[in-house]
């Protein structure tokens, strides 16, 4: 999927126009208080560009999974509007309405340079069903649609894709960066191109492995999924987590990698424990793991092996932890990989989710070229799947 040709906010005249912007304001809340405003801060460059260029900006997003009236109270975007207003130092009008008269009246009265936010689009079940009437009603608030919510770009919902049937549609800076960096790496990577995949299951990452095996020079596998591959190679894995029904698939992937002549690195040693517990006894096994022990992290030799493969890489893509990084005794492999990527000169791309969180917690975020803002969406991007929230946007040569 090539999205490098998608129009951005800079490719369309927004002056004097009402612009509906789909943001990802799905922020964590505790008792109505925002505990991390990163997503709000990240949305500002796009909003700022639009107001600076004479647009009247109408913001929309989902927040949480509102199901009934009670849960709707916890999923209001009101605190987000307030926080955005504080961060931007300007008024952000808020309506508890989504597509009704109040939202329309506020949008109609909105002047160039002003900002408003409508309530959580998921207050309507039509949103996730991508109902055309709901999408049309949303679209009727504005003249132009901007999608800047990468985290939901893999969903075909009304506010993420449906509205583009009724309005000229372009992307904001967040999606533009995801396309440029991730799309650029997949299309024309600086070599050697190294992919590091970890996490729990081969089955979750099989699409990514299949897509990347045709593109990379080196594929590195860590985490529990490595044990399915080691089992396929006839190495004993003791009581490690693995997927018995994916061993044949792992054999096929190993054969394919060999036929293609790419480097395929798997753990050569593992930190194993006698229980899935932070206080378990631990032991490093080289090669075979004895019964009664489960591998919960890559060992020191593997850390060095993986770090060495990353050292001279031109591009590195990383998705998924190398072990049970939530428990300190089994976090060292994930930390070592994060550090190796941070220390390399490679174009470094960190898939969302666990690896993005790890990189941020460890303080390596500013050393990475790109940390994706979407977990599921970045995985689907790397799988080469169509992302409806991006596919719906205009191409640069489209009038
Ligand atoms: P994923 O969501 O597929 O990226 O998987 C992340 C999860 O995989 C984390 O919660 C890790 O604790 C878990 N994980 C990684 N390595 C192992 C392992 N060796 N054994 C059990 N769980 C693991």
Q: Which atom of ligand 1 is nearest to the CA of 319?
A: 4
Task: Yes or no: say if 269 and 299 are a contact pair by the CB < 8 Å rule.
Answer: yes
Catalytic-residue membership of 207: no
Catalytic, 74? Answer no
**Chain segment 31-87, per-residue pLDDT in tens:** 889 999 999 999 999 999 999 999 999 999 999 999 888 889 999 999 999 999 999
Nearest CA to ligand 1 atom 2: 199
H helices then E strands: how many in the chain? 15, 17
Length of the chain in terms of residues written: 399
Q: What is the pLDDT of residue 281?
A: 98
The reply to whether 73 belongs to the active site is no
At residue 323, the pLDDT reads 97
Q: Residue 69's pLDDT is what?
A: 87
For residues 361-385, give the mean pLDDT: 93
User: Alpha helix locations (H) across the chain?
Assistant: 38-52, 69-74, 78-88, 101-109, 132-139, 173-178, 184-187, 202-212, 225-232, 247-260, 300-311, 332-343, 354-361, 375-383, 388-391
Region 139-161: mean pLDDT is: 98
Output the average pLDDT for the chain: 96
User: Would you say the CB of residue 222 lies under 6 angstroms from ligand 1?
Assistant: no
pLDDT at residue 215 is higher than 90: yes
Decide whether any atom of ligand 1 lies within 6 Å of the 199 Cβ: yes
CA of 121 to the centre of ligand 1 (A): 33
Residue 387 tokens, joined: 């992302």
- For residue 90, the tally of other CB atoms under 10 A from its CB is 14
Residue 241 has pLDDT above 90, yes or no: yes
> What is the per-residue pLDDT for 177?
96
Over residues 175-184, mean pLDDT: 95
In the predicted model, what is the mean pLDDT of residues 367-394? Answer: 94
- Alpha-carbon distance of 393 to 391, in angstroms, equals 6
Does residue 296's CB lie within 6 angstroms of at least one atom of ligand 1? Answer: yes
Catalytic-labelled residue, pool 64, 184, 238, 376: 376
Residue nearest to atom 4 of ligand 1 (CA): 199
- For residue 165, the 8-state DSSP code is G
Angle at alpha carbon of residue 215, lines to 357 and 264, rounded to 5°: 75
- 318 beta partners: 196, 350
Q: Does the Cβ of 204 fall within 6 Å of ligand 1?
A: yes
Residue pair 282/272 in contact (Cβ under 8 Å)? The answer is yes
Pocket perturbation via mutation, ligand 1, pick of 197, 198, 200 by most ligand atoms within 8 A of CB:
200
What is the percent of the chain where pLDDT is above 90?
A: 92
pLDDT of residue 399: 77
pLDDT value for 111: 98
pLDDT at 212 over 90: yes
Is 376 catalytic? The answer is yes
> What is the three-class DSSP state of 339?
helix
Instruction: Output the pLDDT for position 136.
Output: 98
Catalytic residue among 90, 129, 136, 201: 201
Residues 6+ apart with CB under 8 A from 181: 347, 349, 369, 370
pLDDT at 353: 81
Q: Are 163 and 126 in contact (CB under 8 A)?
A: no
| Ligand 1 touching residue 238 (CB < 6 A) | no
Does ligand 1 have an atom closer than 6 angstroms to the CB of 321? yes
Q: Which of 12-16, 163-167, 360-364 has the lowest mean pLDDT?
A: 360-364
Q: What does the pLDDT read at residue 108? A: 98
Identify the active-site residue in 6, 39, 205, 332: 39
Of 82-96, 225-239, 337-351, 353-367, the range with the lowest mean pLDDT is 353-367
Would you tell me the crossing angle of helices 202-212 and 247-260 to the nearest 10 degrees?
20
Residue 352 has pLDDT above 80, yes or no: no
Which phi and psi angles does 117 have, rounded to 5°? -130, 135
Top pLDDT among 68 and 145 is at 145
Ligand 1: does its nearest atom lie under 6 Å from the Cβ of 320? Answer: yes
352 Cβ inside 6 Å of ligand 1: no
Q: Do the beta carbons of residue 54 and residue 67 sit within 8 Å? A: no
pTM score, two decimals?
0.92
> In 136-156, which positions are buried (b, 16+ CB within 10 angstroms) versus exposed (e)?
bbbbebbebbbbbbbbbbbbb
Mean pLDDT of 102-122: 98
| Active-site position among 183, 198, 333, 353 | 353
pLDDT of residue 350: 96
Residue whose CA is closest, atom 21 of ligand 1? Answer: 224
């Amino acid at each position: 999927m090539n999205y490098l040709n998608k129009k951005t906010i800079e490719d369309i005249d927004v002056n004097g126009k009402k612009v509906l912007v789909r943001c990802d304001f799905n922020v964590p809340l505790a008792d109505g208080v925002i505990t991390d405003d990163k997503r709000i801060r990240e949305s500002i460059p796009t909003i700022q560009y639009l107001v600076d260029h004479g647009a009247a900006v109408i913001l929309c997003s989902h927040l949480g999974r509102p199901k009934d009236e009670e849960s709707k109270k916890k999923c209001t975007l009101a605190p987000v509007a307030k926080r955005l207003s504080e961060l931007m130092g300007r008024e952000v009008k808020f309506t508890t309405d989504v597509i009704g008269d109040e939202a329309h009246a506020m949008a109609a009265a909105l002047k160039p340079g002003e900002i408003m936010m409508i309530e959580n689009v998921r207050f309507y079940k039509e949103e996730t069903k991508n109902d055309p009437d709901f999408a049309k009603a949303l679209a009727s608030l504005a003249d132009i649609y901007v999608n800047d919510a990468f985290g939901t770009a893999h969903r075909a919902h009304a506010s993420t894709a449906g509205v583009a049937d009724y309005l000229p549609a372009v992307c904001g800076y967040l999606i533009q960066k995801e396309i440029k960096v991730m799309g650029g790496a997949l299309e024309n990577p600086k070599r050697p191109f190294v992919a590091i995949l970890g996490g729990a299951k081969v089955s979750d990452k099989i699409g990514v492995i299949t897509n990347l095996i045709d593109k990379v020079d080196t594929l590195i596998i860590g985490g529990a999924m490595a044990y399915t591959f080691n089992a396929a190679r006839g190495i004993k894995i003791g009581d490690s987590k693995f997927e018995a029904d994916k061993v044949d698939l792992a054999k096929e992937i190993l054969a394919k990698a060999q036929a293609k002549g790419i480097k395929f690195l798997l753990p050569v040693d593992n930190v194993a424990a006698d229980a899935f517990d932070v206080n378990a006894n631990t032991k490093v096994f080289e090669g075979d793991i004895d019964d009664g022990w489960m591998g919960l992290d890559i060992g020191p030799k593997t850390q060095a092996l993986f770090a060495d493969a990353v050292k001279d890489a031109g591009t590195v893509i990383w998705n998924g932890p190398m072990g049970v990084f939530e428990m300190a005794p089994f976090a060292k492999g994930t930390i070592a990989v994060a550090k190796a990527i941070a220390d390399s000169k490679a174009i470094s791309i960190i898939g969302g989710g666990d690896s993005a969180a790890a990189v941020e917690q460890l303080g390596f975020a500013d050393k990475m070229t790109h940390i994706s803002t979407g977990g599921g969406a970045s995985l689907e991007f790397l799988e080469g799947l169509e992302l409806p929230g991006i596919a719906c946007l205009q191409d640069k040569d489209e009038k």
